[in-house]
Amino acid sequence: MSNVHAYRWTSSGLVQIDHIDHVKRSDLVSIDRQIAMTEANIKAFVSGKPALNMLLWGERGLGKSTIVKLMLHEYAENGLAAIEFRHEDVLSIYDLYAEIRRMKSRFVMIYLDDISFDSSDTLYRMFKSVLEGGLEEVPKNCIFVATSNKRHMVTEQAADSGDLYDRDDANEKTSLYARFGLAVGFYPIIKKDYLKIVENYLNIYEIPLYDGWEQEAENYAMDRGGRSGRIAKQFAVYKGISV
């Protein structure tokens, strides 16, 4: 398994992922701050230094999952590995811990993509407990890395009464967020940055710039609900099949 860098946790245990979605640093535009914050933590982690659980949060299509793939691609030679884990499988986490403890030369990201809980969901209490608070120690060679559209991962509702129990419930739902020592925010991109990303993808796909491409790219984004790196890539692909 030493040459394998990515796995998926299933009811049958660890399953090797053979076809990894590789990401090049040059593919990522206008998220330098987010990359730097994430990379500093990963560098510490693979150096055997204390590292933090990470939450990458923000709107869809802005590069959260892409940065995780970039880190895996660039730091695999340093022993970094990733295991995809579904938060609904939380009761099997201790079996996964046993597997990770056997991966002595690896630094493992337990990767939870697009994590969220409904306001009535009690699963987050169990998940919060396994991150910190359970009797069994989390393996020293692993951290949790999660992506979410919601900062607190739980749909929050404002308490109308100000009652003590309302405040306790709100604190309970935001306390999961506190388990992630590093929270990296991805915010809606402005038009200038969006067009930089579009131009980068047009260059990648060898599509020449043309008069009016900026407005066409902007219209494409607005027609699909807003600007994002994912929409920028889709626009470039669209132009590639339509020119």
Q: Which pLDDT belongs to residue 60?
A: 84
76-80 long-range contacts, CB within 8 A, separation 24+: 76/5, 78/46, 78/107, 79/46, 79/105, 79/106, 79/107, 80/5, 80/42, 80/45, 80/46, 80/106, 80/107, 80/109
Query: What pTM value is reported for the model?
Result: 0.83
Q: Which pLDDT belongs to residue 160?
A: 47
Q: Which pLDDT belongs to residue 72?
A: 95
What residue ranges in the chain does DSSP mark as E strands?
6-10, 13-16, 54-58, 80-84, 107-112, 142-148, 182-186
d(CA 213, CA 193): 15
Q: Which pLDDT belongs to residue 55?
A: 94
The candidate with the shortest Cα–Cα distance to 150, out of 127, 125, 183, is 183
Q: Which pLDDT belongs to residue 174?
A: 66
Q: Which pLDDT belongs to residue 23?
A: 84
Q: Which pLDDT belongs to residue 173?
A: 59
Cβ 235 vs Cβ 217: under 8 Å: yes
Q: Which pLDDT belongs to residue 179?
A: 83
Tens-binned pLDDT, residue by residue, of the chain (243 aa): 457 799 999 988 999 998 888 888 888 888 999 999 999 999 999 999 999 999 999 988 889 999 999 999 999 999 999 999 987 888 899 999 999 999 989 999 999 998 877 655 667 777 777 776 677 888 999 999 999 887 666 665 544 445 544 555 555 556 777 788 999 999 889 999 999 999 999 999 999 999 999 999 999 999 998 999 999 999 999 999 975
> Residues with Cβ < 8 Å from 152, sequence gap 6 or more?
173, 174, 176, 177
